[in-house]
C-alpha cells in the first residue's frame, strides 16, 4: 500500500538519530510496549482506576514508532487525545504516564491532566489536546519558533482523519507554506472519526492531497508497516529541515478498539476489525519478518514480550499505589 | 463487571460469548455488556482459560468491579509474570483504590421531593396523566414532535444520525425522518454552526447539536456574531430561528477541556435566549418552545442528567413559556436558586435542611436569558436570604448577576448577603479527589444556607 504519490525526493542525507540506524528489533520492542501498555490501560479502566475518556492507540503503533525513529533529538511532537503511544515513543516513562491515567500526584501532569492531557517539556512532547484539530495550529507554531530561532528543528504534528476537516487546519496549512515552516503534518487516517467513516465525512478522502491548494506536498504511507513509516518520515523530516517548508504524510492505519472505552463500535463489522488484525497487524507483521530474516528468534520475541509485560505491570502497580494529588494542588499551576 | 463508560456504575450482563473451559486469547470477545449508554463487547486482555462464570446471562444491575467470571492461566503462560495478573474480570477482590475510584464517581442521586416537584407546574392542567421518562427521551420526543409538525425543522451535528447521537439523544430520528432531515456532519463546528445560521436566515429551523458545548467554542463566533446580532444589524429584516443544543458542564473525569459550564457565557449575550432545564418535563416543553421561537436559542443540557427519570405530562402538544422560573418548593427561611444539574443539589439540600428546621424555598431558573428576576425577587422578599448554586466559575457567574439584581431591587429585604455556591475558580482537574473539590456539593449548599440563616 505504500504508494508514494507526490512525495518529494529530498535527497537530504539523514544524520544522527534521524537515520536508519535504529534496529528493527528495537522498533518491534517499542511497538509492543505501546500495545501492552494500552491493553493494561484498558484493563485498569475496566476496574474503575482510570476515569473519563480513555482513547487507546492499539493498531496504530507503527505510525508513531516509525516517525520517532526518523526524528532527531530536539524535534517536537504534538498530538490529540489518543496520545499514550506518542508519549511512550518519545521516551516518556510508562510509570508516570500510567500514573497520570490513574490521576495520581506522580503523573506527568500531577494527576490534573489525565489521559488526554499530558506533556513533557524535557522530551519535547507538547500534548495531549482534547479539542479536535486544535493541535494543528499549535504544532505549526512550534515550527514557527524553530524557524524564528533558526535551530534546525522540525515539528511533528499529528492529527486524525476526522480532525482533517476542521477549518483551523487549513488556516495553519496556508501560513505554514507561506512562511515555509518546518512542520510534518502526520495525518493518522484510521478510517474513522468516532462512528463516522472517512467516506461519510470527507469530500476528498485522500488526505495526502489536502495540502494541494496550498502547494504543500503529501504522501500516502502504509501506516501498518513501521519500516515504511520510518522511510517516509526520514524523507519528510529531511524536506522540512532543508528549509523547503511543510509536508503531509497520510498514514493509512486502523484502530482496533472503540473510539474511546465507551464506544460500542457498531458502525463497523467484527469481520472488518478481525481482518485487519489478522492480515495487517504491524507487530505481528514485523515479528514474522524478524524471524524470517533471522534477525530474531521466536524465543527472542517472547523474551521481549516478557520484559515489556514486567515494565507495564510495574507501571500499573506504581500508578495504583501512588497517592492522589495533594488537595492544595487544586489551586496550583493556574497562573505563573 | 468492567466500567465501560465514564458514568457507568452498574451494568447488565447481556450475553456470554464464552463458556466455562473455553480457551481465550487477547482480543477475544468474552461477553456483551449493557452499560448506561450502549451494549458493549468486552474483550479478553490476556490468554487463559475461562474458569467459572459467576454471573448468569441476563443479570441486571451488576456493580462495576463485581467479579463476573474467573480465569485460569494456561500452563504455557505460567512462566510469564502476566499469568499472575489476569484480566479485569478475575475475582481478585478489587483493590482498595479501585473501590475508591468507583465511589468517587458522582452517584445519580435523585432526591425524593423531586417527583412531587415535577408534578406541580401551573402550566400543566390539573388531572393530566403523567408518564415517567428520562430527560434523554423527553428531548428526543420534543424534537420528533416538532419535526412531525414542521418540515422546516431539521437536526444536524456530529454523530446525530447513524450513530444515534454520541449520547443517544437523537435515537430513532434518522429512521423516522430520513437523511434529509437528520444529518451527520464532519467535525467542523464553526462551519456547520454558520451553515445552520445561513439556513435559518433562509427560513429553515435548524437544530444544531454540539456533541458537547465544549466544542461550540469552535463555533462561538457564528453563534454570537451571526445568529445573535443579525436581527439587530438588519433593522429587523432578518432572523435566525435556530436552536443550538447539547450537553453542557462537567461530566465525570473528562478533564479541563471537556468540563466547562457555559451558562454565564451565553447568558451574557443580547440577541439570544438561553435555556438550561433540569426536569424531563421542562426539557421537553422548553425544547419545543425553543424550536418554535423566532430567535436563536442556546439549549444547555447535562450529560449526567440524561439518564434521570421524571414524570412528563402526557399531552399532545406540551409547550412551556421561555423565560419563566419555577418555584419547585415553597419555603420561608431561605431561597435556594439553581438551574440544570444543580437543581438536584438544592432539592437534596432542602431535604437535609428541613431536618434541621430550615424551610428552604427552591427556584429552578429553567431559562437564563431572559432571566426571570421577578420570581427570584418575590421569593427573596419573603425569605430575606438567598443562595445561588451553579457549577460554573464564580467570576461573572449567574449567581453574580442574581446577587446584583437582588442587591439593587430587594436591598431592604435582605437579612444576609446574597451568597454564591459555584465551581472553584480553576480549570477542571482530572484526578478524582481534585475534581470532587472543584465542584459544588450538597454539603456546600447546606453550609451556605445555614450561614445566611446565621446557623451552624
Ligand atoms: C472540536 C471538537 N469536536 C468534537 C469533539 C469530539 N470528538 C473527540 S474525538 C472525535 C473524533 C476524531 O476523529 P479523528 O480525528 O479521526 O481521530 P481518531 O479519534 O480517529 O484518532 C470527536 C468527534 C472534540 N473533542 N472536539
Ligand atoms: Mg480517525
Helix, strand, or coil here: B443?
helix
Measured CA to CA, the distance from residue B172 to residue B306 in angstroms comes to 16
B155–chain A nearest CA distance, Å: 16
DSSP notation for B7-65: T-SEEEEEEESS-TT-EE-TT-EEEEEE-SS-EEEEE--S-EEEEEE-S-TT---EETT
Residue B9: band (very low, low, confident or very high) from pLDDT cuts 50, 70, 90: confident
Is A323 a domain residue? no
Looking only at the bridges linking them, the beta strands covering B360-364 and B326-329 are antiparallel
Instruction: Say what the pLDDT of residue B112 is.
Output: 55
* B427-445 mean pLDDT: 98
Is A327 a domain residue? no
Instruction: Say what the pLDDT of residue B73 is.
Output: 66
Is A201 a domain residue? yes
Residue B40: band (very low, low, confident or very high) from pLDDT cuts 50, 70, 90: confident
Is A332 a domain residue? no
B162–chain A nearest CA distance, Å: 8
Residue B277: band (very low, low, confident or very high) from pLDDT cuts 50, 70, 90: very high
Q: Is A323 on the interface with B (CB under 8 A)?
A: no
Is A324 a domain residue? no
Range with the lowest mean pLDDT among A222-226, B41-45, B211-215, B323-327? B41-45
Q: Rounded to 5 degrees, what angle do the CA atoms A124, A127, A133 make?
A: 125
Instruction: Say what the pLDDT of residue B5 is.
Output: 81
Instruction: Say what the pLDDT of residue B120 is.
Output: 67
- Residue B162 makes CB contacts below 8 A (sequence gap 6+) with A195, A196, A200, A267, B174, B184
A185, A247 Cβ separation under 8 angstroms: yes
DSSP notation for A82-100: --HHHHHHTT--HHHHHHH
Exposure on the CB side of residue A230, measured as CA atoms within 13 A: 23
**Ligand 1 pocket, residue A15 CB under 6 Å:** no
Instruction: Say what the pLDDT of residue A19 is.
Output: 83
Bond into B370 cis (ω within 30): yes
- In this complex, which of B88, B217, B437 lies closest to A46 when CB atoms are compared? B88
Q: How far is CA B200 from CA A166, B213, B239, B427, in A?
A: 22, 20, 7, 35
* B96-119 mean pLDDT: 46
Instruction: Convert the pLDDT of each residue in A115-145 to its tens digit.
Output: 999 999 999 999 999 999 999 999 999 999 9
pLDDT at B103 over 90: no
Measured CA to CA, the distance from residue A184 to residue B55 in angstroms comes to 51
**B429 contacts in A (CB within 8 Å)?**
111-112, 325, 329-330
CATH number of the domain to which A214 belongs = 3.40.50.970
Instruction: Say what the pLDDT of residue B119 is.
Output: 53
* B352-359 mean pLDDT: 98
Helix, strand, or coil here: B300?
strand
Residue B304: band (very low, low, confident or very high) from pLDDT cuts 50, 70, 90: very high
| Record: contact A306-B166, CB cut-off 8 A | no
Is A187 a domain residue? yes
Percent of chain B predicted with pLDDT > 70: 89
Residue B113: band (very low, low, confident or very high) from pLDDT cuts 50, 70, 90: low
Instruction: Say what the pLDDT of residue B424 is.
Output: 98
Range of the domain at A29: 23-317
Which one, of B160, B109, B103, lies nearest residue B341 by Cα?
Answer: B109
Range with the lowest mean pLDDT among B68-82, B160-174, B232-246? B68-82
Residue B34: band (very low, low, confident or very high) from pLDDT cuts 50, 70, 90: confident
Q: How far is CA B446 from CA A222, B105, B326, B361, B394, in A?
A: 60, 21, 21, 13, 18
| Record: contact A51-B45, CB cut-off 8 A | no
Instruction: Say what the pLDDT of residue B117 is.
Output: 56
Q: Highest mean pLDDT range out of A41-50, B24-33, B63-72?
A: A41-50
Catalytic residue chosen out of the listed positions B190, B258, B268, B441: B258
Residue B383: band (very low, low, confident or very high) from pLDDT cuts 50, 70, 90: very high
Is A101 a domain residue? yes
Q: How far is CA A125 from CA A66, A76, A139, A153, in A?
A: 16, 6, 11, 13
Ligand 2 centroid to Cα of residue A47, in Å, is 26
| ipTM of the complex model | 0.93
Q: Give the three cell numbers for residue B119.
A: 408534578
User: Count of domains in chain A?
Assistant: 1
Q: Give the three cell numbers for residue B237.
A: 429584516
Measured CA to CA, the distance from residue A60 to residue A57 in angstroms comes to 6
Bond into B196 cis (ω within 30): no
Residue B46: band (very low, low, confident or very high) from pLDDT cuts 50, 70, 90: confident
* B337-341 mean pLDDT: 98
Instruction: Say what the pLDDT of residue A9 is.
Output: 34
Fill in the DSSP letter of residue B226: I
Is A14 a domain residue? no
* Mean pLDDT, rounded, of chain B: 90
Measured CA to CA, the distance from residue B373 to residue A248 in angstroms comes to 55
| Record: contact A117-B255, CB cut-off 8 A | yes
- Residue A145 makes CB contacts below 8 A (sequence gap 6+) with none
pLDDT in tens, chain A (336 residues): 333 333 333 333 222 358 888 999 999 999 999 999 999 999 999 999 999 999 999 999 999 999 999 999 999 999 999 999 999 999 999 999 999 999 999 999 999 999 999 999 999 999 999 999 999 999 999 999 999 999 999 999 999 999 999 999 999 999 999 999 999 999 999 999 999 999 999 999 999 999 999 999 999 999 999 999 999 999 999 999 999 999 999 999 999 999 998 888 999 999 999 999 999 999 999 999 999 999 999 999 999 999 999 999 999 999 999 999 999 999 999 999
Interface test with B, best of A33, A41, A51, A317 (most B CBs within 10 A): A51
Q: How far is CA A260 from CA A54, A57, B354, in A?
A: 5, 10, 43
**Ligand 1 pocket, residue A189 CB under 6 Å:** no
| Record: contact B186-A117, CB cut-off 8 A | no
pLDDT at B197 over 80: yes
Q: Give the three cell numbers for residue B449.
A: 444556607
pLDDT at B80 over 80: no
A197, A227 Cβ separation under 8 angstroms: no
Predicted TM-score (pTM) of the model is: 0.90
Percent of chain B predicted with pLDDT > 90: 77
Angle between helices A24-46 and A94-101 (to 10 degrees): 20
**A205 contacts in B (CB within 8 Å)?**
none
Amino acid at each position: 500500500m505504500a504508494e508514494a504519490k507526490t512525495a518529494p525526493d529530498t535527497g537530504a542525507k539523514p544524520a544522527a538519530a534521524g537515520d536508519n540506524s535504529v534496529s528493527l528489533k528495537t522498533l518491534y520492542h517499542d511497538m509492543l510496549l505501546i500495545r501492552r501498555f494500552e491493553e493494561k490501560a484498558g484493563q485498569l479502566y475496566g476496574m474503575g482506576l482510570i476515569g473519563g475518556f480513555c482513547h487507546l492507540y492499539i493498531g496504530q503503533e507503527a505510525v508513531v514508532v516509525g516517525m520517532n525513529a526518523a526524528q532527531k533529538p530536539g524535534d517536537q511532537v504534538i498530538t490529540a487525545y489518543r496520545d499514550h503511544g506518542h508519549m511512550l515513543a518519545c521516551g516518556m516513562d510508562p510509570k508516570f504516564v500510567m500514573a497520570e491515567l490513574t490521576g495520581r500526584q506522580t503523573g506527568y501532569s500531577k494527576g490534573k491532566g489525565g489521559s488526554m492531557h499530558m506533556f513533557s517539556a524535557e522530551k519535547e512532547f507538547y500534548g495531549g489536546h482534547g479539542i479536535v484539530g486544535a493541535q494543528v495550529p499549535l504544532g505549526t507554531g512550534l515550527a514557527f519558533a524553530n524557524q524564528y530561532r533558526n535551530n534546525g528543528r522540525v515539528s511533528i504534528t499529528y492529527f486524525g482523519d476526522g480532525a482533517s476537516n476542521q477549518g483551523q487546519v487549513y488556516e495553519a496549512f496556508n501560513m505554514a507554506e507561506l512562511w515555509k515552516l518546518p512542520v510534518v503534518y502526520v495525518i493518522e487516517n484510521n478510517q474513522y472519526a468516532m462512528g463516522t467513516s472517512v467516506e461519510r465525512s470527507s469530500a476528498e478522502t485522500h488526505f495526502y492531497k489536502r495540502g494541494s491548494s496550498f502547494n504543500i506536498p503529501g504522501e500516502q504511507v502504509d501506516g501498518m508497516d513501521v519500516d515504511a513509516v520510518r522511510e517516509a518520515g526520514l524523507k519528510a523530516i529531511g524536506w522540512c529541515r532543508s528549509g523547503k517548508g511543510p509536508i503531509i504524510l497520510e498514514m493509512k492505519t486502523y484502530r482496533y478498539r472503540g473510539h474511546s472505552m465507551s464506544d460500542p463500535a457498531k458502525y463497523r463489522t467484527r469481520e472488518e476489525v478481525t481482518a485487519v488484525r489478522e492480515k495487517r497487524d504491524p507487530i505481528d507483521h514485523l515479528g514474522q519478518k524478524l524471524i524470517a530474516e533471522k534477525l530474531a528468534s521466536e524465543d527472542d520475541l517472547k523474551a521481549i514480550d516478557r520484559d515489556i509485560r514486567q515494565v507495564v505491570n510495574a507501571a500499573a502497580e506504581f500508578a495504583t499505589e501512588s497517592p492522589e494529588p495533594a488537595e492544595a494542588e487544586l489551586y496550583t499551576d493556574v497562573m505563573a | 463487571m468492567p466500567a465501560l463508560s465514564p458514568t457507568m456504575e452498574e451494568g447488565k450482563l447481556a450475553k456470554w460469548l464464552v463458556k466455562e473451559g473455553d480457551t481465550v486469547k487477547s482480543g477475544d470477545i468474552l461477553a456483551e455488556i449493557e452499560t448506561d449508554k450502549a451494549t458493549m463487547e468486552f474483550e479478553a486482555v490476556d490468554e487463559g482459560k475461562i474458569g467459572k462464570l459467576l454471573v448468569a446471562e441476563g443479570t441486571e444491575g451488576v456493580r462495576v468491579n463485581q467479579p463476573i467470571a474467573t480465569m485460569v492461566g494456561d500452563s504455557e503462560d505460567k512462566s510469564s509474570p502476566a499469568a499472575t495478573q489476569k484480566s479485569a474480570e478475575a475475582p481478585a477482590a478489587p483493590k482498595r483504590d479501585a473501590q475508591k475510584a468507583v465511589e468517587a464517581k458522582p452517584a445519580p442521586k435523585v432526591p425524593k421531593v423531586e417527583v412531587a416537584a415535577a408534578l406541580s407546574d401551573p402550566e400543566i392542567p390539573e388531572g393530566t396523566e403523567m408518564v415517567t421518562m428520562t430527560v434523554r427521551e423527553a428531548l428526543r420526543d420534543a424534537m420528533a414532535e416538532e419535526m412531525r409538525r414542521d418540515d422546516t425543522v431539521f437536526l444536524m451535528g456530529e454523530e446525530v444520525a447513524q450513530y444515534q447521537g454520541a449520547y443517544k439523544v437523537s435515537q430513532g430520528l434518522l429512521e423516522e425522518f430520513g437523511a434529509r432531515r437528520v444529518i451527520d456532519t464532519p467535525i467542523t463546528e464553526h462551519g456547520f454552526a454558520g451553515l445552520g445560521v445561513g439556513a435559518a436566515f433562509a427560513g429553515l429551523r435548524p437544530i444544531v447539536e454540539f456533541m458537547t458545548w465544549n466544542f461550540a467554542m469552535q463555533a462561538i463566533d457564528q453563534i454570537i456574531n451571526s445568529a445573535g446580532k443579525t436581527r439587530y444589524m438588519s433593522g429587523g429584516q432578518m432572523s435566525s430561528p435556530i436552536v443550538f443544543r447539547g450537553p453542557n458542564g462537567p461530566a465525570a473525569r473528562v478533564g479541563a477541556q471537556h468540563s466547562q459550564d457555559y451558562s454565564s457565557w451565553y447568558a451574557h449575550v443580547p440577541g439570544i435566549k438561553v435555556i438550561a432545564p433540569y426536569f424531563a418535563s421542562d426539557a421537553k416543553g422548553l425544547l419545543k418552545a425553543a424550536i418554535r421561537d423566532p430567535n436563536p436559542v442556546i439549549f444547555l443540557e447535562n450529560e449526567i442528567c440524561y439518564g434521570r427519570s421524571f414524570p412528563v405530562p402526557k399531552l399532545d402538544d406540551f409547550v412551556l413559556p421561555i423565560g419563566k422560573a419555577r418555584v419547585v418548593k415553597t419555603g420561608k427561611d431561605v431561597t435556594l436558586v439553581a438551574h440544570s444539574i444543580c437543581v438536584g443539589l438544592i432539592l437534596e439540600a432542602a431535604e437535609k435542611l428541613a431536618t434541621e428546621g430550615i424551610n428552604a424555598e427552591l427556584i429552578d431558573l429553567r431559562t437564563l436569558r431572559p432571566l426571570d428576576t421577578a420570581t427570584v425577587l418575590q421569593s427573596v422578599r419573603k425569605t430575606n436570604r438567598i443562595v445561588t448554586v451553579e457549577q460554573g466559575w464564580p467570576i461573572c457567574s449567574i449567581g453574580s448577576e442574581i446577587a446584583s439584581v437582588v442587591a439593587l431591587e430587594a436591598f431592604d429585604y435582605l437579612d444576609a448577603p446574597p451568597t454564591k455556591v459555584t465551581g472553584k475558580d480553576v480549570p477542571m482537574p482530572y484526578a478524582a479527589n481534585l475534581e470532587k473539590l472543584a465542584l459544588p456539593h450538597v454539603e456546600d449548599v447546606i453550609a451556605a444556607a445555614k450561614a445566611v440563616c446565621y446557623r451552624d
